Structure 1
Amino acid sequence: MKRSFHIFVFAFFFTTVAIFAQQQKDSIKTTKRSITVSQLQKVDYNPLSPSRAAFYSAIFPGAGQIYNNRYWWQLPLIYGGMATSIYFYIDNSNQYDRVRTAFRRRKAGLPDEFTNPDGTQIISDAGLESAQSQLRQNRDLSLLTTVLIYVLQIVEASVTAHLIQFDDSDTLTLSPSAIPDRSYFENSPKVGLTLKYSF
């Protein structure tokens, strides 16, 4: 409850600051840097790049990362994660089939692999039921993890394709400044916060 209250206060504060900053926009003198046509031509923005990266990743996992030239550390994570989750899916599925077959054979009165030749049970009926439930849950979780990694690598390829096209040169600046708000009573001035960036 405390955390949600802090988040609400934080969001309210920044929303209020943005409203006050918008109101003061007309009264603040700002210097604007003119952008020439030659500078605009230097920006090489491809609006289809994120779509292509997402499409390539959807067709073949990791292809979007190769398209973005960000594959040297991302491909091992993608293939390692997917291979691990697929391995656990196959292992849990095989174990589930073993336990389920043994449970069905036992219910039919036939010998199973979890019963000794003298008739003593290595695993009880309740144990077999519990093992089936746990192995099915593990199998489904492994499948969900595989699908999640597949979707995340598509999203990551698209977002990276967006971000690598942004200008991150040294001409970008960010300068915070406090601006008094005189639209209220002179006896109780309010203070707002503005973040200005120039490029």
Structure 2
Amino acid sequence: MKNVFFVIALILILPMLALSQQKDSLIVKDTTGKIEASSKVMKARGWRDSTGKRTFSPRKAAIYSAVLPGLGQIYNKKYWKVPIVYAAIGIPVYTFFDNKTWYNRTRYALKVAEMDHTTQEYTDALADVHSSLLPLVDGTKTNSLLNYRNEFRKNMDYSILFTLLFWGLNVVDATVDAHLKGFNVSDNLAMQVRPAILPNQAIGVSILFKFADNRSKAIP
């Protein structure tokens, strides 16, 4: 009789226990997504990680370098790259202005060369022609002036192209460098390659990975 009551009580209690466990499981919320999202936001804003080390934001590095070349490298604490960035961008910028100056000189000389050489206007304009171009302003070498002018114009276009190219590379370098700042290989990680005897008495090579907790795993 006692066994019957025990079985009946057990039958009544088990569903209640199962129901309570189900309610408890429903209350538990998955916060993994929020934690991952929060960590991404923290990394994007350049906050510090759990070890206290500063994290670098690739987005910030890209914006800084796009606004002012070299600023992203300073943000990444790669100060030695700043002179390289300014040399890479400064040389084509200087070349552009130098070619622009000579383009204007040859264009003006070509204009003077096409004037009537018997007029006072030609004599007055000839005084403003650059001294190195005077031998070409005699009416017979206008083709040379035209070629020089076109060459300087082409060099200006190339200078603009290289300036934009190196400016873009400066942004890419700062962005990639900021990404690599967050990549860390621990000193506790090691890999060893050594001989191994397989279960079928064959000889092979195994790769041993060693982690911080001194646990090892061999891959034959």
User: What TM-score, normalized to structure 1?
Assistant: 0.59
More helix by share: 2
Decide whether aligned partners of structure 1 residues 79 and 115 sit closer, same or farther in structure 2, where only a CA change above 3 A counts: closer
Mapped contact 1:57–1:65 kept (Cα < 8 A): yes
Contact map agreement 1:174 1:197 (CA 8 A) in 2 = yes
Distance 1:77 1:57 in 2: 13
Aligned to 2:103: 96
- TM-fit CA distance, 1:101: 1.2
Using the TM superposition, give the Cα deviation of residue 174 of structure 1 relative to its aligned residue in structure 2, in angstroms. 5.6
1:149 corresponds to which residue? Answer: 166
Picking from 116, 119, 127, the partner of 1:109 is 116
User: 1:43: how far off?
Assistant: 8.4
Change (3 A) 1:155 1:196: farther
Q: Distance in 1 between matches of 2:192 and 2:106?
A: 65
Distance 1:105 1:44 in 2: 67
2:90 to 62, 77, 83: 83
Asked if residue 49 in structure 1 is aligned to residue 57 in structure 2, the reply is yes
2:185 to 147, 168, 189: 168
**After TM superposition, what 4+ stretches of structure 1 lie above 4 angstroms from structure 2?**
43-46, 173-177, 195-199
Residues 7-52 of structure 1: CA deviation (Å, up to 9, x unaligned): xxxxxxxxxxxxxxxxxxxxxxxxxxxxxxxxx9438684x70001
Identify unmatched segments of 5+ residues in structure 2: 1-48, 195-206, 212-220
How far apart, CA to CA, are the structure 2 residues paired with 1:197 and 1:79?
A: 44
1:131–1:197 Cα change, 3 Å = farther
Distance 2:191 2:154 in 1: 50
Q: For the structure 1 residues 128 and 164, does the alpha-carbon distance in structure 2 shift closer, same or farther, using more than 3 Å as the test?
A: same
Gapped regions of structure 1 (runs ≥ 5): 1-39, 178-194
Partner of 2:175: 158
**Superposition RMSD on alpha carbons, in Å?**
3.4
Give the whole-Å Cα distance in 1 for the aligned partners of 2:115 and 2:69: 45
Change beyond 3 A, Cα 1:174–1:154: farther
Question: Structure 1 residues 197 and 43, CA, compared in 2 at 3 Å: closer, same or farther?
Answer: farther
The percentage of counterpart residues that share the same residue type is 33
CA deviations over 1:148-197 (Å, ceiling 9, x no partner): 111111111000000011012223446789xxxxxxxxxxxxxxxxx997
Contact 1:56 1:64 (C-alpha < 8 Å) held by counterparts: yes
The 3-state SS of whatever aligns with 1:52 is helix
Deviation at 1:115, TM superposition (A): 4.1
For the Cα contact (< 8 Å) 1:44–1:165, is it kept in 2?
no
Distance 1:45 1:99, change over 3 A: same
Q: Pick from 147, 153, 160: which aligns with 1:130?
A: 147
| Larger-gyration structure (1/2) | 2
Question: What is the letter of the counterpart of residue 51 of structure 1?
Answer: R
8 Å CA contact 2:95, 2:159 repeated in 1:
yes
Q: Sort the Cα spacing of 1:130 and 1:62 in 2 relative to 1 into closer, same or farther, 3 A.
A: same
Matched letter for residue 96 of structure 1: Y
The letter for the 2-side match of 1:148 is L
